[in-house]
Amino acid sequence: MSVNRRPNTCRGQLAVAAATIFLLLLATSFAPHAQTNPFTGPFCTAPPAATDTWPMAGTDNIGTTTSVRPIAFTGASLLANDTGSSLRVNRVGATSANGGAIAGADPYTYTARAGFTGSDVFTYEIIDGIGETTVGLVKVTVGGDTVAPTVSITAPAAGTVSGVVTITASAADNVGVAGVSFFDGTTAIGVEDTASPYQATWDTRLYADGSTHNLSATARDAAGNAATSAAVAVTVNNAAPPPPPPPPPPPPGPAPAVEKMVFSDGLGKRTTAAFSTATTGDVLIAFAASDGPQAVNGQNLTISGAGLTWTRVQRANTQFGSSEIWTATASAALINATVSSTQSSAGFYQSLTVIAFTGVSGVGASNSANAGTGAPSVSLVSQSAGSLVYAVGNDWDNAIARSVPAGQTKVHEYPAPAGDTMWVQALAGTTSSAGQTVRLNDTAPTTDRWNYAIVELKPASAPAPPTMTTVPNVVGSTQTAAQSAISAAGLTVGTVTSTNNAAPAGQVIGQSPLGGSSAVTGSAVAMTVSLGPAPPAAGPVLALSFNETIGSMATDSSGNGNSGSISGASRVGGQAGYGGALSFDGVSSIVTVPHSASLALSNGMTLEAWVNPTADAGTAPNDGWRTVILKERGTNGLAYALYGNDGNSNPSRPAGYINSGFDKEATAGPQLPVGVWSHIAVTYDNTAIRLYVNGALRSTFTTAGAISASTGSLQIGGNNVFSLPGTEFFAGLIDEVRVYNRALSAAEIATDMSTPLP
């Protein structure tokens, strides 16, 4: 529908009284804010033409939304079914008929009043090109959110779990996920997570190995819709894994091999050409043979060069000339090295062969031989299997090529111009075992005099395999005895983990590696030690069931003597299974519990109660305060409190308070429903205040500090410190009041909800 607003100076008059009254009613819905100006009456910016027509506003419908989700709309959408010339939206009402709010300046948003469902309307005004105005109606349907969230466990996967596990879930909702809670069967794990990523930690070490658990997650939205994921079955297995098998024996060292070989033959001192090696730790052998004077022991050779220290292994010079073997070890790779052989009797022909060996640990057995005639031959007894065997000789009489038997090889030969022969030969393979007699010989010539020297080059030793030892079984021993047993076995004590367990404190309840397995000597053995059974959780310091049938006292069943006196509250039946309750009139009814040391809470607390409001708390400032539990501090303050309604918010909603220098609160909507039992609780653990409604975490306020000291009374259903300008008395039923000196977990709160007090 539309209502035209036009001055008498324009065409026509609004003469119908009913229409005028309706117009005034509609005008009240437009709030005078920056976006719109107050209605000041109809007007025209120019005289109307004879053909001028009234602008007409058709009824608009912007759709369906929920009480927790705003809906957006534009001025163009409102004008779509309106008629007139050069129309535009002049302004939009700030509130709707049912308390909704309209905000913005094209586009606009409509937000329903919290908790409202049904049909709602608000007004808007259009204006044409000559200033003629019309008011139209906009309809909107507000439905309660009935769509539950979706949720699924993303980790762990079904199977085996151990240690401390992080359980994660994915959740989504058409409006928004308010929180996700995790469960082992029906037992809550941790507290509700209200922000993505949704997760909880779960210590599997508290459960027996082999036990099966069904993990699930429940997601809820602000409207109270909830859904539970499919369960993920896991089996706890915290037994120490079997120790790894002992390391395999190390591979044998590299086989002996020739990396580099150089020669120098000729008259007088000999020096090799420059050579380089690539390996660290090469063993170098110089095989030198020389002519000499006609004298026994008449020629001696000296080897030098490559920056190394050379040591003579063998010298054979009984016959004329000399055959010698020298050795040196290179600690690093050689670069452009040269090696020289110097004669004691200079000016004779000689041959120098230098070989760099890899995979050789050093020189083993060696020997020498000589004869005035006959076939050259020399032997040794090997010290190791896999050794190389080399020999060097000189024939002083003739320059004749050597003939070597099968299984041997000629490495180098120099027939000197003076009629001498110098040569190096070797065993074709390696020794088969230690103690093997190895003979190197020539089959021809057989009539010359000769000197011959032989050497064994032993293979590099493989690293010794690790020493293994048997791990002692220390499970069941005291920690002190276990440490002694581990040390006595040649092992070390590794990580020691402590946990609560049924076993006596100090007893070893687990170890890794397991007893009886093998471990490398000196390796670590980890232990798990019992702390003994976990101490029982502390019970409430105040517990009032209101189950008494007569009298003016509410008896405390916590054992702390914190009974309260009832003033103005009447005894009524509570919810099924919970016995009696107290009815409070919202004006003066109160239960007073005198101060005691057990109620002087400091670094932790939990306040709980079942409540059933019988009257709306209102929305005006201070009109919404409804005390459930409050510990008075002096004459004008609180130490801690639980409110069914909090006048700091509009509309009022549940809240929990502490004072630690100033008041701090955790609060969350929506309002508690009237005529319905709700469980509310607030906890504080010196890190945060947490508010729970019906077992679900609804609000967290991060803070720290000791709760302010108080010697005032603990009041239920009202208080005497905040009496003006309004009242803070509760209207409705209260039951099952509990106070703890520690912060309960969500699981413990859920247990209290379902466990009536005696």
pLDDT tens digits, one per residue of 190-218: 888 988 889 998 888 888 888 999 999 99
Q: What is the distance between the alpha carbons of residues 256 and 62, in angstroms, rounded to a whole number?
A: 93
pLDDT tens, residue by residue, 724-741: 555 789 999 999 999 999
Q: What average pLDDT does the structure give for the chain? A: 86
C-alpha distances in angstroms, 266 versus 263, 325, 421, 428? 10, 18, 12, 27
pLDDT of residue 303: 97
Distance separating alpha carbons of residues 268 and 351, to the nearest angstrom: 10
> Average pLDDT of 471-494?
93
- Reading the block at residue 254, the tokens are 């590299």
The residue among 694 and 48 whose pLDDT is bigger is: 694
pTM: 0.37
Q: How far apart are CA 313 and CA 358, in angstroms?
A: 19
The tokens for 310 are 């050379």
Whether residue 182 contacts residue 188, with contact meaning beta carbons closer than 8 Å, is answered with yes
CATH 3.30.10.20 fits 468-530, yes or no: yes
Position 149, amino acid: P
| φ/ψ (deg, to 5) at 617 | -80, -10
Looking up tokens 């008011």 gives 135
Question: Measured between alpha carbons, how far is 742 from 605 in angstroms, rounded to an integer?
Answer: 4
- Classified as helix, coil or strand, 601 is coil
Under the banding of pLDDT at 50, 70 and 90, the label for residue 619 is very low
Q: Give the pLDDT confidence score for residue 374 in this predicted structure.
A: 93
187-196, 306-315, 332-341: the lowest-pLDDT one: 187-196
Supply 240's token pair: 């120490």
Intervals of CATH 3.30.10.20 along the chain: 468-530
| Ranges for all domains in the chain classified under CATH 2.60.40.10 | 150-236
The amino acid occupying position 251 is P
Between 615 and 140, the more confident residue is 140
The answer, yes or no, to whether residue 364 has pLDDT greater than 90, is: yes
Look at residue 242 in the predicted model and tell me its pLDDT: 58
Q: Which segments of 632-738 does DSSP mark as H helices, in order? A: none
CB atoms within 10 A of CB 419: 14
Q: Are 285 and 251 in contact (CB under 8 A)?
A: no
Architecture of domain 542-753: Sandwich (2.60)
Q: Identify whether the C-beta of residue 615 lies closer than 8 Å to the C-beta of residue 650.
A: no
pLDDT band at 143 (very low <50, low <70, confident <90, very high): confident
The average pLDDT across 489-498 equals 93
Q: For the domain bounded by 150-236, which CATH number is listed?
A: 2.60.40.10
Q: How many CA atoms lie within 13 A of 588 on its CB side?
A: 2
List, by residue range, all CATH 2.60.120.200 domains of the chain: 542-753
Distance, first Cα to last Cα, the chain: 63
- In this prediction, residue 706 carries a pLDDT of 92
Q: Which residues pair with 176 in a beta bridge?
A: none
Amino acid at 184: D
Lowest mean pLDDT, pick from 47-61, 156-170, 544-558, 701-715? 47-61
622 or 709: whose pLDDT is higher? Answer: 709
The CA distance from 460 to 437, in Å, is: 21
Strand, helix or coil at 92? strand
104 bridge partner residues: 108
Q: Judge contact between 268 and 346, C-beta under 8 A.
A: yes
